[in-house]
Amino acid sequence: DAKTTQPPSMDCAEGRAANLPCNHSTISGNEYVYWYRQIHSQGPQYIIHGLKNNETNEMASLIITEDRKSSTLILPHATLRDTAVYYCIVRVKFRNDMRFGAGTRLTVKP
């Protein structure tokens, strides 16, 4: 599977948009970009995924560059409860395995 690179940590002010980048320069044509987050001492929570088009749901937006080598997860109005480790994962959708990198520790500050 292609690997991802994320900044180890980021801060964001409460109420502002949090933009979390992810580089996946070796992504293959059939690999999707998935985002999960893990709040302290809990299991990972699915956020969003996409192939090449931008995606939006009730939690976040996912912007994938045209060359698909990078993406950005956007939390439009970050709250203190969004403080978590955010994982960007690339995987073939119809394969079972999922491998986690180090992720980005997002801290939302009042």
Residues lying near another protein in the complex (CB under 8 A) are found at 36, 38, 41-46, 87, 93-103
Q: Return the number of other C-beta atoms located less than 10 Å from residue 37's C-beta.
A: 23
Q: Which is nearer to another protein, 7 or 44 (CB)?
A: 44
Q: Which is nearer to another protein, 38 or 72 (CB)?
A: 38
Q: Is 101 exposed, middle or buried (0-12, 13-18, 19+ CB in 10 A)?
A: middle
Smallest gap from Cβ 5 to another protein, in A, equals 13
Smallest gap from Cβ 15 to another protein, in A, equals 27
Q: Please give the DSSP secondary-structure letter assigned to residue 10.
A: E
Among 26, 4, 18, 2, CA closest to 88: 4
Strand duo 18-23 + 45-50: pairing: unpaired
Q: Which is nearer to another protein, 14 or 107 (CB)?
A: 107
Smallest gap from Cβ 103 to another protein, in A, equals 6
